[in-house]
Amino acid sequence: MSIIDKTAAVPAPRGGSDHTGPLLEVKNLHVEFHTRDGVAKAVNGVNYSVDAGETLAVLGESGSGKSVTAQAIMGILDMPPGKIPQGEILFRGQDMLKMSEEERRKIRGRKIAMIFQDALSSLNPVLTVGYQLGEMFRVHHGMSKKDATVKAVELMDKVKIPAAKARVSDYPHQFSGGMRQRIMIAMALALEPDLIIADEPTTALDVTVQAQVMDLLAELQQEYNMGLILITHDLGVVADVADKIAVMYAGRIVEQAPVHELYKRPAHPYTRGLLESIPRLDQKGQELYAIKGLPPNLLKVPTGCAFNPRCPKADDICRTEIPALVPVTEQNGADLPGRKSACHFWKETIHG
């Protein structure tokens, strides 16, 4: 553990030179919620990893478990009713689920930060934004109030809030939605974390503002060489910023691929269906392809492949056997690096 201790003491060695392997690795994570009507299995064995400077997009609909996974990583899951029966969350090789609350608290904010969808409810309405930004420095670095305010202004400049000096003593409700999201980003960046988890960061914003915020996020990520986990349901946003994509459905990852590959040749019928079902700005089609049926009820996930009741390719095997997430290859058996699919018929899907 001496390696870890050193990283904690020395201010953030970028790129994780001490620890080989991914910055963050989630292994076989399970999360369930105990409710009045039964046990909802929100996450059922998720594996993914992010490197420094890399953007992983986790794509899924509501109830796919994408946000719950992120909350488990941050350690902000409500437990109970939530429960993590098994799995590991390795940050620089160290399992965060086995850490004490105190150790986790040190990582949270300092090493891993999170940006939420709703910036207004994530900021305290009775404190000025300058105070809230400065709080990070006062609490974690023991700065004086004055120094912290100077730092807060610097951060606001960094996220391109105009007239930062004048606005540092304003309250959150005095800022527009886009500006508030920038303040959230500034807060997340304050301690220069190694990893940022952004949960639908632009969903509540208008398109023109959305583009500004995503650009800012990408720029800062590059500057600080951070890992970024982008959780979203928007296939357009993903295509714009992601390096690799994990598609989730009913608490499992059904497909993993580098961004270009995924859009060109999806290897899972669900991904394919999603891509075909969104209307395109640059095309006007007659009728949209629609994935039939409804997203699954987590209290009663279908047996076998969870997608089978909605899948055009479903066969008997899909109703009985849960497909494993297996590497996908070219027709001739050549490797497709980074590609995996959890479908019994991935060959037919990608090559058919």
* Interacting residues toward other proteins by CB under 8 A: 61-62, 162, 176-179, 206-212, 214-215, 233-240, 242, 259-260, 263, 273-275, 277-285, 287-297, 299-300, 302, 309-310
If the CB atoms of residues 20 and 62 are measured against other proteins, the closer one turns out to be 62
Encode 211-245: b = buried (16+ Cβ within 10 Å), e = exposed: ebbbebbeebbeebebbbbbbbbbbebbeebbbbb
If the CB atoms of residues 141 and 264 are measured against other proteins, the closer one turns out to be 264
Q: How many CA atoms lie within 13 A of 85 on its CB side?
A: 12
The DSSP annotation for 129-158 comes to: HHHHHHHHHHHHH---HHHHHHHHHHHHHH
CA distances from 236 to 140, 158, 205, 271, 325 (A): 37, 26, 14, 14, 25
If the CB atoms of residues 260 and 351 are measured against other proteins, the closer one turns out to be 260
If the CB atoms of residues 2 and 62 are measured against other proteins, the closer one turns out to be 62
| Shortest separation between residue 128's beta carbon and other proteins, angstroms | 20
If the CB atoms of residues 197 and 242 are measured against other proteins, the closer one turns out to be 242
Amino acid identity, position 346: W
If the CB atoms of residues 10 and 166 are measured against other proteins, the closer one turns out to be 166
| Shortest separation between residue 207's beta carbon and other proteins, angstroms | 5
| Shortest separation between residue 139's beta carbon and other proteins, angstroms | 31
Rounded (10°) CA dihedral 98, 101, 106, 111: 50
The structure tokens 């940022």 sit at: 196
CA–CA dist 251, 306 (Å, integer): 9
| Shortest separation between residue 285's beta carbon and other proteins, angstroms | 7
If the CB atoms of residues 142 and 162 are measured against other proteins, the closer one turns out to be 162
Q: Assign residue 109 a region: left if phi > 0, alpha if psi is -120 to 50, beta otherwise?
A: left
CA–CA dist 134, 157 (Å, integer): 14
| Shortest separation between residue 60's beta carbon and other proteins, angstroms | 9
In eight-state DSSP terms, residue 108 is B
If the CB atoms of residues 192 and 234 are measured against other proteins, the closer one turns out to be 234
CA–CA dist 65, 221 (Å, integer): 25
Enter the tokens of residue 248.
């989730």
Amino acid identity, position 214: M
Residues 6+ apart with CB under 8 A from 250: 44, 63, 64, 65, 295, 296, 298, 301, 306, 307
| Shortest separation between residue 205's beta carbon and other proteins, angstroms | 9
